[in-house]
Amino acid sequence: MGNRIKLIIFAAATTIAVVSCQPSTGPVIEDKIPPGERNISINELAATLGMSISESNHTHVVLKNSANTVMIFTLNGGKLYVNTKPIGEVGPIERKAGQIYVSSSLISRIRSAMRAYAPLPTPVPSPSPRRLSGTVVIDPGHGGKDPGATSVLGYYEKDVNLAVALDVARLLDQRGLRVKMTRTDDYFVELEDRAAIANNLDADLFVSIHADSFPKSSRRGYTIYIAKSASFSSRKAANVIARSMSGTGLNSFGVQTANYHVLTATRGPAVLVELGYLSNRQEAAMLRSSSFQDRLAQAVADGICVYFD
């Protein structure tokens, strides 16, 4: 959709009483934009909200302060998220001299959403949580010559899996768990060897981390898989991770069964987390964002900690 059409829709939406019976064609008249609204640069928006720009590229912009995260999608028909909650369309976007301009009306919408959607409390309650004990194997899916799925934005699944898995491992290590990763960089590891790492350590839990893909691009959300003949412990781990993941605001497909090789070849409890859909444009943009990767890692790690607690 071109900027012109978006402007017309925006004007129609914001002056609905005047134009609701009119076809949305014809020239865009400046004074249709309500008084007090103007285009402001993303820098100005961030400064007004007391936030700073933590990421900016051709698909999205992330603003942050210590308590809140705002994500603005600059794709056509882009959405606005505050602490992962979608709060509607971004509206018209203008690009001038390398700067992105949005409507000043976003300021009040973001402010009220920041109040309504304060950061989610993490499921780990106390300020100095109890040290946990146990051995967990974290398995970032794919790697090296095996890229996994390719996102609609062109990047590879293996890179998201690794970024989130490294973060999960760090968080678990902080809680006192003994953590082993099946890979810590971009190299290939056989499925057999991944399961063997868990079996040789007699791991208490094996968690494989992947991102999904589907021919229908509208499909979005996370899924936790266990093997068809999964043990009670695998099921328990899958349930607590699924519950913790619901705090990310993503759509949930819950716990499903599938005989993935890493799940059937691992002797101990094993789950496979599909973080979200790389075939969905907005989820692909979220999965690439490091602030959203942090949130996903926290959710997966929190679920694992509940399992060990």
Total residues contacting Zn ion by CB under 5 A comes to 3
Looking at the Cβ atoms of 51 and 163, the one nearer to Zn ion is 163
Stretch that binds Zn ion, among 43-51, 146-154, 242-250, 283-291 (CB under 5 A): 146-154
Rounded Cα gap, residues 97 and 295, in angstroms: 33
Q: What is the DSSP string of 186-239?
A: S----HHHHHHHHHHHT-SEEEEEEEE--SSTT---EEEEE-TT--HHHHHHHH
Signed CA dihedral, 19, 25, 31, 36: sign only: positive
Q: Contacts with Zn ion in 209-248 (CB under 5 A)?
A: 210
Are the C-beta atoms of 15 and 32 separated by less than 8 Å? yes
How remote is the C-alpha of 281 from its chain's centroid?
A: 12
**Among 116-124, 135-143, 178-186, 278-286, which window interacts with Zn ion (CB under 5 A)?**
135-143
Sheet with 178-181: strands ordered across? 178-181, 135-140, 205-212, 270-277, 222-226, 252-257
Please give the Cα distance from 198 to 167 (Å, whole number). 19
Taking the least distance from each CB to Zn ion, the nearer of 83 and 161 is: 161
Work out how close the CB of 148 gets to Zn ion at its nearest, in angstroms, rounded to a whole number.
4
Beta carbon of residue 216, minimum distance to Zn ion (angstroms, whole number)? 18
What's the closest the beta carbon of residue 225 comes to Zn ion, in angstroms? Answer: 11
Q: Give me the residue whose beta carbon is nearest to Zn ion.
A: 210
The yes-or-no answer on residue 94 being catalytic is no
Cβ closest to Zn ion, residue 93 vs residue 242: 242
Query: Within positions 171 to 210, which residues make up the interface with Zn ion, using CB under 5 A?
Result: 210
Phi then psi for residue 305, to 5 deg, are -65, -40
- Which residues in 1-60 contact Zn ion (CB under 5 A)? none
Q: Which residue in the set 78, 92, 140, 141 belongs to the binding site for Zn ion (CB under 5 A)?
A: 141
Nearest distance from C-beta of residue 141 to Zn ion, angstroms: 4
Neighbours of 251 (CB within 10 A): 15
Give the CA angle between residues 286, 292, 297 to the nearest 5°: 125
CB of 157 to Zn ion, least distance (A): 5
Q: Residues 78, 92, 148, 303: which binds Zn ion (CB under 5 A)?
A: 148
Query: 32, exposed or middle or buried, with CB in 10 Å at 0-12, 13-18, 19+?
Result: middle
- CB nearer to Zn ion: pick between 93 and 162: 162
Is residue 158 within the footprint of Zn ion (CB under 5 A)?
Answer: no
Q: Which residues are part of the catalytic machinery?
A: 274
Binding residues (CB under 5 A) for Zn ion: these are 141, 148, 210
